[in-house]
Structure 1
Amino acid sequence: MYKRDKKGRFIKGSKGSVATYFKKLNNHPLYRPIGSEQIDERGAVRVKVAERKWRPKHILVWEKYHGPLKSNELIMCLDGNKQNCDISNLEKVSYSEHYRMNERNLLSTNPQLTMANLNKLRLEDAVKGKKKGRV
């Protein structure tokens, strides 16, 4: 074993009985290869893109078709199912739009109804923007 001093620190130059104390990750039972998927604590699917780096699948699917997101944008699942990552179920919204959709209870399990509510919200924003410009 490694020798320690009275404070519990390792003594320099002491040798352990084990040749390598830390083993490689791919022998570990929780190791996942790159490209594997898992469901996180919120119910969303995450994909391993590099060692110790996971990204949400719905964002990867969106970026595949439409390119990267800006810092103030997020991807919303229209039917509310975070595991349904079909491109027809995804919509890019701003943080303020997503907040107001939640605040007004405009989200639905019906994707057409959710999209209609989002378009209504965007129309209200456009009308308010025109009124501000006139005054």
Structure 2
Amino acid sequence: INYTTDGYPKEKIGEPNQWVLKHRKVWEDHHGLIPKGYSIVFLDGDKTNYDISNLACLSKNEIARMNQNHLFTSNADLTKSGIGLTKLTNKIREVEKNG
């Protein structure tokens, strides 16, 4: 395993220089392909903790709202609660907008 300049672990999957971010590989091994427009986040904020229980798949919109509201924390349980709140808030806005 090597690391990107941003500190993300990456794993070599082929030659000559085929690398994949470790957290994305772990997610895809457990859940399949990551949908377009989605990213994998670390629930405890630790980029080196790529255990599947520490990963979540969020849309770019959800990540933006989580950042706006300072809902990412070093506590995985609090971050999970923030994700739930964000998803609920987005759904309420969608229902109000579309009737």
TM-score computed with the length of structure 2 as normaliser:
0.94
Please give the per-residue CA displacement for 1:23-81, whole angstroms capped at 9, x wherever unaligned: xxxxxxxxxxxxxx112211110001112111100000000010011111110000000
- Which residue is 1:15 aligned to? none
Separation in structure 2 between the aligned mates of residue 69 and residue 43 of structure 1, nearest angstrom: 21
The structure with the largest helix share of the pair is 2
Q: How does 1:68-87 map to 2 (within 5 A)?
A: 68-87=33-52
Q: CA deviation at 1:106?
A: 1.1
The structure with the largest strand share of the pair is 2
Question: Could you tell me which of 36, 44, 58 is aligned with 2:23?
Answer: 58
Q: CA deviation at 1:133?
A: 2.0
| Identity across matched positions, percent | 34
Q: CA deviation at 1:124?
A: 0.5
Question: Which has the larger Rg?
Answer: 1
The one-letter code matched in structure 2 to 1:39 is Y
- Which residue is 2:11 aligned to? 47
The answer for unaligned runs of 5 or more in structure 2 is none
- 1:41 match: secondary structure: coil
Please give the per-residue CA displacement for 1:71-104, whole angstroms capped at 9, x wherever unaligned: 1111000000010010000000001111221122
Separation in structure 2 between the aligned mates of residue 100 and residue 50 of structure 1, nearest angstrom: 36
The one-letter code matched in structure 2 to 1:127 is I
Separation in structure 1 between the aligned mates of residue 67 and residue 47 of structure 2, nearest angstrom: 15
CA RMSD of aligned residues (A): 0.9
The one-letter code matched in structure 1 to 2:35 is K
- Which residue is 1:110 aligned to? 75
Where relative contact order (Cα < 8 A, 6+ residues apart) is larger, the structure is 2
**Structure 1 residue runs of 4+, over 2 Å off?**
none
TM-score computed with the length of structure 1 as normaliser:
0.70
